[in-house]
Amino acid sequence: MCGRYDLNETGRRIRVTFNVDQLPVIEPSPDVRPTEMRPIVRLTRHGDARECVLARWGLVPHWAKDIKFGTKCINARSETAASLAAFKDAFKRKRCLIPATAFYEWSGEKGRKTKWRISVKDEPLFAFAGLWEWWRDPSKPEEPGIETYTILTTEPNDILSDIHDRMPVIVLEKDYDEWLENGSTELLRPIPSEMVEIAAAELPRQTSLTAE
């Protein structure tokens, strides 16, 4: 599961890395959380270029009755996303890239967990493989719809397997078009361990002992 990530970029690097002409207003955040509005990169309606838009983290399929559905869909397992009702339409037609500078996982016992910051070596900005959807509240048809997204996950590589049993799918820059245009399942795998950097973002709290 990927439940937090870092996006500390706001402008030029996103534009250049993802080859988009225009950007929405992006607020940098070292701790992106579900339900927040964050940038995604996708193909334009005609499929001849990329665009960057803001979307809400937590995919809500068009048929959902309540936006709260998205809190269950911040991640999608890459092995089953193409067949599950919540994701299969998006997997066919609404793939995206999600800009990030790092993501977080936790390990250890409850109350003494270590928070790990995980990034890609020599890549100050990279992309998760994602899916997006468009949803309108059926009880308020007069209001505008909202775009939402999910992060695809896969089994961990060797270096992350001791921390968590899943990791986000990271798409390398050379594969951006292949994911957006064709949705190749060959890309839905962990990146090699040697490409990953891990650092403790927050050490576990130490229990103080008082002599009696």
CB 62 within 8 A of CB 90: no
* CA–CA distance, 132 with 146 (Å, rounded to integer): 10
Catalytic site residue from 2, 52, 73, 96 = 2
Name the β-bridge partners of 52.
41
Is residue 36 part of the annotated active site? The answer reads no
Burial class of residue 106, CB neighbours in 10 A (0-12, 13-18, 19+): middle
Joined tokens for residue 147: 């775009």
- To the query of whether residue 2 is one of the catalytic residues in this protein, the response is yes
Q: Give the C-alpha separation, 6 to 28, whole Å.
A: 8
Q: What is the largest CA-CA distance in the chain?
A: 73
Alpha helices for 26-157 (secondary structure H)? 88-93
Alpha-carbon span 105 to 167, nearest angstrom: 9
Residue from 9, 52, 105, 147 carrying the catalytic annotation? 105
Q: Residue 93: which residues within 8 A CB-CB, separation 6 or more?
A: none
Q: Which amino acids are annotated catalytic? A: 2, 105
